[in-house]
């Protein structure tokens, strides 16, 4: 009988196991003990080997004594804050917005280590129920404060039939080697329209992990935008599920990476019923020795006829040392569908650079103009002017090396 060799555990895994046992999550602790953190052998983590990349785990977060200044301000937004996993006091909500709390995590159980860890460590969840359309942007400011800490928090959003909203999540905090594990669950009712934007502005020393789960109902429209522009190690997982006829998703994301940064966007989308559509579009801009990873899987169920789904990833390398890794996948069980995927990667167009510099534009400014043009397709659909301007500011700051 063949014997399975025990997994050799590292310092990060030993700490995780001890922390899990301290909160009574013995089953999850046993999973880590047996399997360890994911390595390249786990297909969904093939390019983000957590066993190698995550060398240590700081102590579990304590209550935050004070909060740093917001990393991103959007004029007119209704703001909520979660600091070190604890929901802070809230101001009066806009009409039709019900703010509450619930115990524990929010994500559907699946075979993923970040999902299991969030479920084990998240002590309370912020809940939002949107009973009608909301005019101001709703901003959830998720912070990791104080000395280096292991932070887990969660958010659950229900959007009523016919309602519309723009929800922004920002991730930031003190300049320390935090490990953040964040979860968002969002359910869209019939004909709901939601734009959901998540922006990682964590310090470079931090590790940022987020898992976003979406349930898109009949006729509902979902637009998402993930921006990685902060942490040294970042991974956002997207789990959209199209559950009603006419459901549509524009799932988009942007990795901005420089020397020493590793940013990963991984999507696992499920078209569960007939007559649904999606157009995932992801972009990567890498310079220095930065590494960007984009993985995208479109799964079409056997009964999901007339699915129209097209995945695209486009990469832009600003240095010879940069790495952009892409893995698009299709898993189709229906026979009457229109599905496809594509991936491109290259450098700035030399003819365009020559055209701009020949007209007196300095090379650095010309490069910035072309990168802005490359990214604009992701930001342009955002109709709220203040929010769009804030997002442009993040991109401009990255281009200027701030």
Q: Which of 133, 126, 123 is nearest to 165 (CA)?
A: 133
Say what the pLDDT of residue 348 is: 87
CA atoms within a 13 Å half-sphere pointing along the CA-CB vector of 308? 8
What angle, rounded to 10 degrees, do the helices at 113-121 and 26-35 form?
Answer: 150
Rg (C-alpha) for the chain, rounded Å, is 21
Nearest residue to 293 via CA among 114, 113, 115, 43: 43
Model confidence, pTM: 0.95
Strands, DSSP E only, in 131-192? Answer: 138-144, 150-159, 164-173, 179-188
d(CA 327, CA 47): 9
Per-run averaged pLDDT (10 residues), the chain, 402 residues: 66 97 96 95 95 96 79 91 89 91 92 96 95 96 95 97 98 96 98 98 96 98 97 98 98 96 98 98 96 96 96 94 95 95 90 88 86 92 93 88 68
Spatial neighbors of 359 by CB under 8 A, at least 6 apart, are none
Listed in sequence order, the residues at least 6 apart from 380 whose beta carbon sits closer than 8 Å to its beta carbon are 388
pLDDT of residue 6: 67
Please check whether residue 53 is in contact with residue 234, taking contact to mean a CB–CB distance below 8 angstroms: no
b/e code 325-349 from CB counts within 10 Å (16+ = b): bbbbeeebebeebebebebebeeee
By DSSP bridging, strand 138-144 and strand 164-173 are: parallel
Q: What is the largest CA-CA distance in the chain?
A: 74
Count of positions (residues) in the chain: 402
Instruction: Report the distance separating Cα 89 and Cα 155, nearest Å.
Output: 15
Domain range summary for the chain, segments of one domain joined by +: 11-346
DSSP state of 43: G
Q: Which pLDDT score is estimated for 2?
A: 44
179 in Cβ contact with 150 (< 8 Å): yes
């Amino acid at each position: 009988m063949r014997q399975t060799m025990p997994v050799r555990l590292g310092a990060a895994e030993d700490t995780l196991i001890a922390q899990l046992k301290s909160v009574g999550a013995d089953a999850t602790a046993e999973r880590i003990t047996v399997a360890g953190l994911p390595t390249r052998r786990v297909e969904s983590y093939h390019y983000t080997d957590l066993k190698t990349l995550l060398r240590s785990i700081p102590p579990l977060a304590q209550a935050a004594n004070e909060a740093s200044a917001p990393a991103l301000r959007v004029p007119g937004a209704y703001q909520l804050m979660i600091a070190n996993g604890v929901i802070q006091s809230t101001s009066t909500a806009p009409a039709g917005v019900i703010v509450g709390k619930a115990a524990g995590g929010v994500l559907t159980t699946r075979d993923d280590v970040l999902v299991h860890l969030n479920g084990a460590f998240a002590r309370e969840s912020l809940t939002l129920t949107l009973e009608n359309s909301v005019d101001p942007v709703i901003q959830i400011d998720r912070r990791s404060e104080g000395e280096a800490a292991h932070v887990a928090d969660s958010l659950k959003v229900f959007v009523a039939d016919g309602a519309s909203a723009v929800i922004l999540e920002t991730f930031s905090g003190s300049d320390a080697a935090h490990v953040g594990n964040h979860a968002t669950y969002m359910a869209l009712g019939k004909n709901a329209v939601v734009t959901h934007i998540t922006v990682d502005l964590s310090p470079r020393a931090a590790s940022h992990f987020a898992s976003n789960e979406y349930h898109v109902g009949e006729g509902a429209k979902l637009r998402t935008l993930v921006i990685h522009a902060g942490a040294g190690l970042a991974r956002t997982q997207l789990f959209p599920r199209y559950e009603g006829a006419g459901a549509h998703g524009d799932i988009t994301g942007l990795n901005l990476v420089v020397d020493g940064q590793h940013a990963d966007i991984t999507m696992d989308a499920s078209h569960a019923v007939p007559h649904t559509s999606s157009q995932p579009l992801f972009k990567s801009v890498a310079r220095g020795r930065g590494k960007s990873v984009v993985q995208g899987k479109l799964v079409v169920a056997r009964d999901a006829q007339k699915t129209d789904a097209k995945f695209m990833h486009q990469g832009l390398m600003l240095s010879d040392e940069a790495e952009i890794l892409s893995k698009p996948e299709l898993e189709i069980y229906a026979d009457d569908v229109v599905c496809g995927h594509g991936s491109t990667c290259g450098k700035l167009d030399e003819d365009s650079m020559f055209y701009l510099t020949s007209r007196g534009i300095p090379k650095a400014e010309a490069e910035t103009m072309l990168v802005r043009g490359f990214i604009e397709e992701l930001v342009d659909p955002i109709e709220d002017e203040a929010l769009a301007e804030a997002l442009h500011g993040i991109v401009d700051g990255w281009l200027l090396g701030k």
